[in-house]
Amino acid sequence: AALKVFAPIYVLTRGGPESSTLVPSYYSFLNFFDKSKVGYGAAVATVLTLVIVAVALVIQLLQARSERREEEGV
């Protein structure tokens, strides 16, 4: 859920107070644009993307395994 809430956090709170609503996507944006740490912001976004892809692959593998077991009747 925290990966999909960039727009509401940006519009309503801008990550505050005291970074209490800071999520990974907003953290990347903040470093890239506001702090002008372009390399760091891009690295955060890249790592976030890799984590999302890895989690999605694990979920797909688990679903495929579950479907195979259901077909086999186990």
Whether 62 is in a domain gets the answer yes
Whether 59 is in a domain gets the answer yes
Q: How many structural domains comprise the chain?
A: 1
**pLDDT for residue 22:** 86
Q: Which domain holds residue 29?
A: 6-72
Residue 73 has pLDDT above 90, yes or no: no
Q: Which residues touch 48 (CB under 8 Å, ≥6 apart)?
A: 3, 24, 25, 28
Whether 51 is in a domain gets the answer yes
Whether 21 is in a domain gets the answer yes
Whether 1 is in a domain gets the answer no
> CA-to-CA distance for 53 and 67, rounded, in angstroms?
21
Indicate yes or no: pTM above 0.85.
no
- pLDDT band at 74, cuts 50/70/90? low
**pLDDT for residue 1:** 64
pLDDT in tens, 23-72: 888 999 999 999 999 999 999 999 999 999 999 999 999 999 999 999 88
